[in-house]
Structure 1
Amino acid sequence: MEPVEVSGAGLTPLEAVALAQRRTVVRLSDDARKRMSESAAAVIEVARRRPVYGRTTGVGANRDVLTTDPEHGARLLGSHSTTGTTSYPKDVVRLGLLIRVNQLASGGSGLDPDVADAIVALLNDGELPDLHRGGAIGTGDLGPLAELGLALGEVIDGTSALPLLSSNAITLAECCLAYVEASTLINVVPLVGALSHVALRGNAEVYDVRVHEARPQPGQVRVARRMRGLLDGLPIPPARIQDPFGLRAFAQVLGPAVDHVDALGNSLRIDINASAENPLVAEDTVLHNGNWHAMPIALALDSLRLSLHSVATLSTSRVANLVDPEYTGLSRFLASGAEASSGVMMIEYVAHDALAAVRSAAQPATLGTATLSRGAEHHASFAPQAAVLSAQLLDALREVLASELVTAVRAIRLAGLTPEDLAPAAVGPWLADAFTALPPDLTDRSLREDLEIARGLMTQWGDRQVEHPAESG
């Protein structure tokens, strides 16, 4: 297979994650090589006429200290490789290196293409350096990128250390992984919600196109369209004139999460293709700037987490409805068998435990502040922290949704409904999947395995196209 060219343009977060996970062989494109060579030559000429930050000066509060020491770069890498003790996962490192090469390929760093080639060699050979967390607060991944510089060896000289560090590439890798996971999970929420709608005999007029034309919030409109696609033709009459919020406000609550994950994807697409270098080599000059500041990414992550917290809250409200005979017409806690059986009573506890984790991880990372390097740096985005919180939240949200899925499927079983009973509604094949995967035993027992199966089933659903294969047949 021919190597995929890295050109510094057009890379999407999903493509970047796929290339890294598949360990695809890559190469620097010829155009990118030309751009890098030209910018490397340009910055040498500029440095002869004026100070260039990090190349002929110190960094941080030492920005006004000039240096001609040929060992300046080596000392910079040595000192800045101070990190915490926890290693990044290898999939994050691999993706981060790919993103850094793509950024360098855009030609604004002043680094020679040999540097990009050296990083590409690490990627293609699978010889990934051990990079560590600690020290990154959304103003550049200084520590881990300094460790990368040390791993690259002699290709990094006394003037090229700082340009390598001027990036949030490792943080962007974690953000891209969170983006893909969030997008996948958001695509699954309507499937789980549709099964709860069936179990609760919901009123589908809340998804009527006229409702959403009256208030055309983009994400809400898309969710309502998806729900109509799943529920249209459902031959089950609604149990109520007006449903509880878990059903009635489904599109209005999931819609903002759809909007926010789109916004995160757009911000990531810009940054993984950007010459976010300081200084930026622009034709025959250098421009000192603040493009290393990751506030757009941090705010996008914070907004997404806050919106997903509401999605999780509404999911637990549907679980509460599902265990209540007043809403289902079934037994308390969907119990089966002897009197006073507990059924799925503990599922509700599991869901709220996970919801508490979602709530904790939803706290905005951008509320933090920092003053560093003798006041030379007095603000930070805390995007790395936002990325970590996002991964934690998404794992807990999956647990919440698994709780709802197990409960909804059990309620449908108890009601005696089959996938065929839902025809011609498109939700039927998804119910068939769930019936096949989840154990039919309704006696009191541990439901931990059911929750694990549900988590795996949602992963399978998320990996598919939005349409179920049977829907397009």
Structure 2
Amino acid sequence: MPAIVLDGATLTPAAVVAVARHGQAVELAPAARARNEAAREAIASMLDRGQALYGATTGVGALRDRTIGDSDRERFQWNLLRSHAVSAGRPLSAEQIRAGMVVRANQLGAGGAGVNPALLDGLTQALNAGITPLTREFGSLGTGDLPGLSEIALALLGEGKVWRDGELADALPPREPVTLGLRDALGFMSSNAMTAGHAALLSVDAGAVHDCWLEVAALSFEALHADPVVLDPRVQAARAARGQAAVAERMRELLAGAPFDPHAPHRLVQDPYAFRVLPQVDGVANDALHGLNEVLKRELNARPENALIDEGRAFATGNFHAAELGAALDALRAAFAHSASLIAGRVSAILDPRMSGLEPFLAADPGPDSGHMMLEYTAHAAAAEARSLAAPMGAQSVWASLGVESHASLAATAATRTAELLHAMDVLVASELVVAVRALQAGGREPAGAGVRALFDAAAEVLPAGSEDRAFGLDVEAARGLLASRSAR
């Protein structure tokens, strides 16, 4: 496959996934390299004129009032990287670190930092060689991923640990010695690239989960004879909500050709909320996904540095603050938590003989057999986990660096919570798939919807035949594996 060109302007979540998860090569666009060099020359010119520059001639944070003399500048740059390399806890996954690396390389190519070319080239070379610096989970407050980026920079310069060929090893020094100067350290670390990269991975994963749960929901519609009138375009037009209309349209595609019998046994004049308000609730999730992707279009290609170098000048900025990204991740979790409750509700409805017309819990012989009684517990436990993770990180408070840094987005923590929520959603959607397929089979039916037959057939192949009691947790794991294999991640 051709290399992904990092031009500082067009990086997408899909491209981040291709590099971070699938190992696609990268190359830096000549114009991006030139922009970084122009910014570097501007910094050198400022310092030659004796101009004060944050992170070059001054300390950082609460130490911004301390002057760095000419003789201390190289030592200061090294010390800044080393003192900020304080991530702790569990190691981040290789794909998460690689995602941050490709985002930072692209941002540096946007031209706001002006770092030593050895650092910029080191990022792309490490990505292409499959070398991943070791960094850990805790340290970022969402006002710059300072610990993680410091550790990556040090690894590129020969300090710290890296993953190489699947083994943890000492970082190797670059072929040519690198002299740090100007404001190389702060220029490299002044970014939320690690969080933005993680969010890019999450946006793709969340989109895949969203697509999967709509497919499975369509199977549940058929299994329970749910009324598709709630998906009618006229219903959506009455509210004119973008996400609601998009979800309803997708559900109509999935159910195209499926007959609906309003006189089927156990039909009520209106279905339970888990079916009736699906477009409205899942539409919010669709909107949240759309919103996150809009934020990422900006964040992956931003110039977040403080100070920003532009047109030969240095501008003090707050572009390192990831409030917008953190809020988008918070919104995604809140929206998905609503949908989680609906999914669990559909599981309960399918297992309810008053709704399905089938045996309680789809048991083969109710009494001696319990059927999927406990799978309802599993589904609701996963939904509860999703809801517990929906609390917004933006509501938290931070007071750091002697009060100079008195606010933080905590976007990195919001991303971690989002990953945990998506894991719970995987379990939840798989649980619904198991009961929807079992309900159709128990009723002696096959789905007729144009968009769901392939999923039903695939599930019927991987889920054990027979309705007798067994360890149904294995069915859920088989369903999880199937859904993961079908999703574009």
For the superposition of Structure 1 and Structure 2, which TM-score range results when normalised by the shorter chain?
A: over 0.9
2:411 alignment counterpart: 383
2:241 match: 217
- Summarize deviations over 1:44-80 as a string: whole Å, max 9, x none: 1123342111011000001111112131111111111
**1:402 Cα deviation (Å)?**
1.2
Instruction: Give distance in 1, aligned partners of 2:458 and 2:5.
Output: 40
Tell me the equivalent position of 2:166.
Answer: none
- 2-structure distance, mates of 1:33, 1:460: 38
Q: Distance in 1 between matches of 2:398 and 2:463?
A: 49
Counterpart-to-counterpart distance in 2, 1:183 and 1:3: 24
Alignment map for 1:88-237 (pairs within 5 Å): 88-153=92-157, 154-155=177-178, 157-159=180-182, 160-237=184-261
Once the two structures are superposed, what CA deviation does each residue of 1:112-161 show, in whole Å capped at 9, x if it has no partner? 33321122121122222111222201011111111122122253613311
**CA distance in 1 between partners of 2:389 and 2:197 (Å):** 19
Report the alpha carbon displacement of residue 25 of structure 1 after superposing the two structures with TM: 2.2
Secondary structure of 2:91 counterpart: coil
Change in Cα spacing, 1:106 to 1:75, as seen in structure 2 (3 Å) is: same
Deviates more, 1:177-186 or 1:14-23: 14-23
List per-residue Cα deviations over 1:267-289 (Å, max 9, x = no partner): 11211111111110011110011
**Structure 1 residues 139, 50: closer, same or farther in 2, change over 3 A?**
same
Q: Does 1:406 align with 2:430?
A: no
Match of 2:342 in 1: 314
In structure 2, give the amino acid aligned to 1:281: I
Per-residue CA shift, 1:344-398, capped at 9, x if unaligned? 0000111111112112211111111111111110000000100000000000011
Aligned twin of 1:83 = 87
* Partner SS, residue 181 of structure 1: helix
If the length of structure 2 is used for normalisation, what is the TM-score?
A: 0.91
User: How far 1:233 moved relative to its partner?
Assistant: 2.4
Tell me if the contact between 2:40 and 2:114 (Cα under 8 Å) persists in the aligned partners.
Answer: yes
- Where 1:86 maps in the other structure, the secondary structure is strand
> Among residues 441, 445, 457, which one is paired with 2:466 in the alignment?
441
Say if 1:88 and 1:130, in contact at 8 Å, map to a contact too. Answer: yes
Listed as ranges, the matches of 1:210-359 within 5 Å are 210-238=234-262, 239-337=267-365, 339-359=367-387
How many angstroms apart in 2 are the aligned matches of 1:135 and 1:19?
24
Give the residue type in structure 2 aligned to 1:86.
Answer: R
User: In the aligned structure 2, how far is the partner of 1:234 from the partner of 1:77?
Assistant: 61
Q: Over aligned residue pairs, what C-alpha RMSD do you find?
A: 1.5
- Name the CA distance, whole Å, in 2 between partners of 1:302 and 1:397: 16
Q: Which amino acid in structure 2 is aligned with residue 120 of structure 1? A: T
Match of 1:67 in 2: 68
Give 5+ residue unaligned stretches, structure 2: 158-176
CA distance in 2, matches of 1:227, 1:370: 43
Aligned partner letter, 2:249: R
Deviations 1:9-49 (A, max 9, x none): 11111111112222222222111111111110011112334
Task: Please give the TM-score of this superposition, normalised by the length of structure 1.
Answer: 0.94
Identity of aligned residues (%): 39
Q: Which amino acid is the alignment partner of residue 190 of structure 2?
A: S
- 2:477 corresponds, among 448, 452, 460, to 452
Partner SS state of residue 286, structure 1 = strand
Tell me if structure 2 keeps the 8 A contact 1:166–1:278.
yes
Inter-partner Cα distance in structure 2 for 1:149 and 1:229: 49
Q: 1:158 is aligned with what amino acid? A: G
Distance in 1 (alpha carbons) for counterparts of 2:438 and 2:22: 37
Partner of 1:51: 52
Comparing 46-55 and 201-210, the one that deviates more: 46-55
Question: Offset of 1:110 from its aligned partner?
Answer: 1.8
Q: Which string of whole-angstrom CA distances, capped at 9 and with x for unpartnered residues, describes residues 316-364 of structure 1?
A: 1111111111111111111113644210000011111111211221111
Report the secondary structure of 1:167's partner residue. coil
Q: Secondary structure at the match of 1:54?
A: coil
Whether the aligned pair in 2 keeps the contact of 1:149 and 1:156 (CA below 8 Å) is no
Check 1:344–1:85 CA distance in 2 against 1; reply closer, same or farther (3 A cut).
closer
In 2, distance between residues paired with 1:59 and 1:364? Answer: 29
Report the Cα distance in structure 2 between the residues aligned to 1:177 and 1:30, rounded to whole angstroms: 27
Distance in structure 2 (CA, Å) of the matches to 1:268 and 1:137: 18
Aligned partner of residue 5 in structure 2, secondary structure: strand
Q: CA deviation at 1:403?
A: 1.1
The answer as to whether partners of 1:203 and 1:240 remain within 8 angstroms in 2 is no
Measured in 1, the distance between the counterparts of 2:28 and 2:116 equals 12
Distance 2:398 2:95 in 1: 29
Q: Does 1:32 align with 2:32?
A: yes
